[in-house]
Amino acid sequence: MIRRWLALAGIVLIAVLLAFPLRDMIHETIVVPTAYLLWTLGLYYRSLSQGIWWIILVALVLWIFGKSLTPQLHPLGKPLAKPKEPRGRVEDLARWLGRSSHGTYFKWLIANRLGKLAYQILLQRGNEKPRSVFEPLTGPDWHSTADLQNYLQAGLHRSFADFPNPRRFLAPPAKTPLDLDINKAVDFLESQIDDSRL
């Protein structure tokens, strides 16, 4: 962010320094031709009657309308592009895992999915009695470490915008609850599923 402001300030400074010496050249090469072009276009506009302009406008609208309603025609011999196959939840998770080192958002997506899974486990253990999503993730035989509890609750109750994004070329990013090893969370949830009546 600081580099952007410095680059912008440098560009403005260079523009100010060059504005006075190049004033005549800019006037001759940019201002005069632009004014002449606008004057010529104004003459053409005034030389045609309003009826002709209305006909041109209606024809343009009808052309756009017809183009949007007709099916797209493809040249012969050119194969149609295959639509992308829809991805499932497992493929989404695998993609998020691959991108989790690039920023906080993908880490939060994984934590959010695991937090929802923890909520579903606790809901099932309570015989699906009403339970608020905003309640702490606790229940009978739920013995998680403090780090793991913070991880699951950060994914379920907080947004990715609550955590700082890692900045390149600057100080190392601050530790967040989302930095927990995902394998620990998955192992814990697997043990809770085995112990529950799912």
- Please state, in angstroms and as integers, the Cα–Cα distance from residue 148 to each residue in 55, 137, 143, 170, following that order: 69, 11, 10, 28
Q: Which residues contact 104 (CB under 8 A, 6 or more apart)?
A: 160, 163, 164, 165, 166, 176, 178
Predicted local distance difference test score (pLDDT) of residue 37: 94
Predicted local distance difference test score (pLDDT) of residue 170: 56
Where helices occur in the chain by DSSP H, the ranges are 2-19, 23-26, 32-47, 50-69, 89-99, 104-125, 146-157, 182-195
Q: Which tokens in the block code for residue 25?
A: 């050249």
Predicted local distance difference test score (pLDDT) of residue 59: 95
Predicted local distance difference test score (pLDDT) of residue 33: 92
Predicted local distance difference test score (pLDDT) of residue 168: 58
pTM over 0.75: no
Predicted local distance difference test score (pLDDT) of residue 173: 63
Predicted local distance difference test score (pLDDT) of residue 1: 64
Q: Which tokens in the block code for residue 180?
A: 């927990």
For the chain, 198 residues long, the average pLDDT of each consecutive 10-residue run is 83 82 83 92 86 91 86 61 73 75 80 86 76 76 83 84 66 73 85 61
Q: How far apart are CA 144 and CA 187, in angstroms?
A: 11
Q: Which among 122, 104, 111, 99 has a CA at the least distance from the CA of 181? A: 111
- Other Cβ atoms closer than 10 A to 187: 12
Q: Which among 194, 195, 119, 188 has a CA at the least distance from the CA of 153? A: 119
Which 3 state secondary structure label does DSSP give 106? helix
Predicted local distance difference test score (pLDDT) of residue 40: 93
